[in-house]
Amino acid sequence: MTTNQPINDVMNARHSVRTFDGVTTIKHAEMQALLKTAFLAPSALNLQPIRALVIESPMIRQQLATATGNISQLTTASAVVLFVNDRENLAEKKPFLPAQQTGVKEHLDIAALDCGLVAMQFMLAAKDHGYDTNPMTGFDHAAFSQILNLDTARYEPLLLVAIGKAVTAGKMAKHKAIKTLIDFQ
Ligand SMILES: Cc1cc2nc3c(=O)[nH]c(=O)nc-3n(C[C@H](O)[C@H](O)[C@H](O)COP(=O)(O)O)c2cc1C
């Protein structure tokens, strides 16, 4: 359920959390709602090449934990969401079906930008629903693809986001002074 806080409050309250309560489950309808909001993000040429694999299974997450330094996020979150670039970007009824390949297109570097925008919206939507998150690039992409049976020619792992209920509230990270980051012309 959404907290309906003003967007600015949600942005100020989002902090990375690395240890979750390990017991909260997120219903598929709620996860779908979060991801639906996330996928409203803009994408270059509106190509929408990003796909999300929601990994709930504790057994699979335990396996994945061996391929990342981010063990507590993998094992205590309600779920981890792997955002990937679908290099083929076909219009299919369902993603991640095996052997759907029809000829791999060029890798689009721009997909990483699209992914960041989707992930950011996901993290803010999650915060608005009372969850905390942690974005992660610190994982072995090849090992993840193998454990998750991903077609590596087609699906390129980009970002992993843990989501769950924090054990202790996240803290505001240290931020550079705004005057050192911006200028006007
Ligand atoms: C692209 C990206 C990759 C990140 N990878 C990791 C990671 O592998 N492990 C981790 O604990 N945090 C990771 N983080 C989280 C950052 O450490 C965190 O966002 C930063 O310290 C600022 O804190 P905040 O998210 O609380 O604002 C990543 C963040 C981004 C944006």
| H or E element in which residue 36 lies | helix 28-38
What's this model's pTM, rounded to 2 decimal places? 0.93
Contact indicator for 85, 49 with CB cutoff of 8 Å: yes
Mutational pocket test of ligand 1: of 15, 136, 139, the residue with most ligand atoms within 8 Å of the beta carbon: 136
Q: Residues near ligand 1 with C-beta < 6 Å? A: 15-16, 18, 70, 134-138, 170, 173
DSSP assignment string, 84-114: EEESS----SSSS-TT--S-PPPP-THHHHH
* Interval between CA 136 and ligand 1 midpoint (Å): 6
Residue nearest to atom 17 of ligand 1 (CA): 16
Answer yes or no: is pLDDT of 93 > 90.
no
Predicted confidence (pLDDT) per residue in 150-182, tens digit:
999 999 999 999 999 999 999 999 999 999 999
**Reported confidence tier of residue 106, pLDDT bands at 50, 70, 90:** low
- CA separation for the pair 79, 158 (Å, rounded): 17
Contact indicator for 39, 48 with CB cutoff of 8 Å: yes
Residue nearest to atom 4 of ligand 1 (CA): 136
What pLDDT is recorded for position 3? 75
Predicted confidence (pLDDT) per residue in 9-57, tens digit:
999 999 999 999 999 999 999 999 999 999 999 999 899 999 999 999 9
Residue nearest to atom 23 of ligand 1 (CA): 173
